[in-house]
Structure 1
Amino acid sequence: MHTIDSFPGREIILNDKPYLYFGGTAYLGLQMDIEFQHLFIENIKKYGTNYGASRKSNVRIAIFDKAEEYLAQLVGSDACVTMSSGYLAGQFIGQFLNNSSNKFFYSPNTHSALYISNQIKNKPKSYITFTALNIAIRDHLEKNDTIPVVFLDSIDFSGANFPDFEGLKALPLEEVILVVDDSHGIGITGENGGGVFRKIQKLNPKELIVCCSLGKGFGVQGGAVFGSKERILSLVNTDFFGGSSPASPANLASIFFGESIYRKKRKLLQLNTAYFIENIENISFFKYMVGHPAFTFSSEKLTHLLEENGILVTSFRYPSEDADLMSRIVISAAHTKADLDRICNILISYV
């Protein structure tokens, strides 16, 4: 474990020694980008540092509706509602759907944000394979009238889902409410960073609900839920929504007014990711997804080798200490060609 005193950009300082950082989830490198910081600061001056009132208050800030309409159009959904975090967005959906009309099913590697276990009858069970999940859902449909609700991470870093979703295609989706966490996709994958909503919608599920963190692809704290107008309205008309603090309006304004910055950074990220792949001879050593900048591996020896050469990557047990060690090289829009050459030269000698 390393403790630092500032945000980990493309470079961090540990014990007075500089390291290149190829980890984290700041895919577009926005948090330390001067142009984006300037936009963010201007929005803080206008909207304040935080807005703790209910969205149902008699005084309302217009940027919420503007940002949600913009995000819905970007993603391709009928409607959108934002919240203070991606985790809260996932819990919001789970708790709302957790009733006697539905039965929950969790696909392999589903993020903890989507798990609800406050009722015995809906106690979560994560399936190891999509084959097992498929059998369980079809068996349920033959014996029960309740609607299967399938929870899924769009980016699970094993390559089982994004970009082709082969396991998902085998499910009886026409009878399934599909809840997809697109936290690691929205903002960087899909058309103009719209994520996976359009692609999965083409698979024709009974209903599609997508939730996400806005902190990874958009660089600001917040969460969002996307779906039909009826579903979003039903979510908004709850005590859960009315009683929760919203996302910071300054954060949402930065998304709304930052489109040109996002476009530029996404292009840089795509170029950097392509350059990395082109310059690693044995790219199959890593688990990765075409169109995503994360490259997963299991060699602790490689993690140590990189650190010895002044490069830190993501490497920890997630989501708990009982989980397997996860190591991941993450390319960002902030990395320079020299940064990429440096890590590629080390990797070429190893893999």
Structure 2
Amino acid sequence: MIHYVDKFPGRKIKVRNLDYLYFGGTAYLGLQSDAYFQKLLIDNIKKYGTNYGASRISNVRLSIFEKSESYLAKLVGSEACISLSSGYLAGQFTRNYFNYKFFKRFFAPNAHSALLLTNDACQETYSSLKLALEEHLEAQEKTVAVVFLDSIDFSGSNYPDFNPLKSLPLANTILVVDDSHGIGIVGEHGEGVFKMLMSLGAREVVVCCSLGKGFSIQAGAIFGTVDRINAMTETSFYGGASPATPANMATLMDSQELMSQKRKKLKKRMHQFKEGLTEKFPHIIMDGHPTISFSNKGLTDYLEDKKVIVTNFPYPNEDSQTMSRIVISACHKKKDIQKLTRHIQEYFSDQI
């Protein structure tokens, strides 16, 4: 069922004049409705304006872009970083960059649509992906293999262990990974998965992502080597695109202490949720990530009857499988988690 709301959904949303607890969306740190975070953003809007439509290669340039990109590169552990106006644009830009005859592109199962062009198709399994890569290498083609995937695909296949990736011939493969659901959330400081991926021994690692889910700002970013990032900035795709809003990038830097506090609170809520779960609830949960995937329409309907709404819709299009997901946020209170786990326990107790 589609619900229309008139304000940003926080821990609660109002539907048909009734209050519901909300465990959906991707506002993992709950910053969008945080008063202090909003003040930081408003102050930066006053300084940098509401938008900056000029090209990044213009003769007049705002220093906040280089400062924030340097900060982000240091955070994730990459040599360099560039920012863009959205995570989807970052993914499409990266995919477009590798769309040349000297690259051979492969797409892992469940790769996000941001990494795909019209005629791209994902491999159905990692076994078939491994076979395709091995056949490519055995043919001794001059093209370099590039594998596109999501770091967190909600099936539990990749993050946190990346076991399917370890079976691939990574030494001869460039990995292009969308970390939109990881950066800002996973890792001790919200650094995401870049260092984890580098430890796997791939020929090269390029990470693209949205900064909206973990950092709560409208922007995207790409991480990689200095040579790769410099080459990407020399393209017409980069030069022709408007940059991220500078006020957003400044707010990202100004709110790191607040984000650290929110991550600690989120971890407490995640631990509380796990402690209150019933073993009868079949689900997928990834260590260190605040999402719980499941497939049970009855549970979704039961929770809604109890005034609890979770993520539940076909994604990324109407023909896709329905995505049911519980999302824990730093804005949730202890009593919210208690209510959620109690209702889950009640539902499965009634199924006996």
The residue correspondences of 1:12-27 to structure 2 (distance < 5 A) are 12-27=13-28
CA distance in 2 between partners of 1:276 and 1:321 (Å): 31
User: In structure 2, the residue corresponding to 1:193 is in which secondary structure?
Assistant: coil
Q: Give the Å deviation of 1:283.
A: 7.1
Q: Give the Å deviation of 1:269.
A: 0.7
* Cα deviation 1:223-245 (Å, max 9, x = unaligned): 00000000000011111111100
1:132 alignment partner AA: S
CA distance in 2 between partners of 1:183 and 1:314 (Å): 17
2:196 matches 1:195: no
Question: Contact 2:76 / 2:194 at 8 angstroms: preserved in 1?
Answer: yes
RMSD: 0.9
More divergent stretch after superposition (283-292 vs 239-248): 283-292
CA distance in 2 between partners of 1:201 and 1:109 (Å): 21
How many residue pairs get matched? 346
CA distance in 1 between partners of 2:29 and 2:280 (Å): 22
Question: Contact 2:278 / 2:344 at 8 angstroms: preserved in 1?
Answer: no
Question: Contact 1:269 / 1:333 at 8 angstroms: preserved in 2?
Answer: yes
The residue correspondences of 1:1-351 to structure 2 (distance < 5 A) are 1-117=2-118, 123-143=119-139, 144-282=141-279, 285-351=282-348
Question: Contact 1:277 / 1:283 at 8 angstroms: preserved in 2?
Answer: no
CA distance in 2 between partners of 1:200 and 1:283 (Å): 34
1:105 alignment partner AA: F
Question: Contact 1:39 / 1:254 at 8 angstroms: preserved in 2?
Answer: yes
* Cα deviation 1:283-337 (Å, max 9, x = unaligned): 7611111110000111111111111101100000001111111110000000000
Give the alignment's TM-score, normalised by structure 1. 0.97
CA distance in 1 between partners of 2:288 and 2:126 (Å): 22
Question: Contact 2:32 / 2:38 at 8 angstroms: preserved in 1?
Answer: yes
Q: Give the Å deviation of 1:124.
A: 1.9
CA distance in 1 between partners of 2:235 and 2:142 (Å): 26
> Equivalent pairs: percent with the same residue?
53
CA distance in 2 between partners of 1:312 and 1:326 (Å): 13
* Cα deviation 1:200-225 (Å, max 9, x = unaligned): 10011111000000000000100000
Runs of 4+ in 1 over 4 A off after TM superposition: none
Question: Contact 1:187 / 1:193 at 8 angstroms: preserved in 2?
Answer: yes
Give the alignment's TM-score, normalised by structure 2. 0.97
Q: Give the Å deviation of 1:281.
A: 2.3
User: In structure 1, the residue corresponding to 2:189 is in which secondary structure?
Assistant: helix
Question: Contact 1:90 / 1:113 at 8 angstroms: preserved in 2?
Answer: yes
Question: Contact 2:56 / 2:243 at 8 angstroms: preserved in 1?
Answer: yes
CA distance in 2 between partners of 1:163 and 1:231 (Å): 26
1:140 alignment partner AA: H
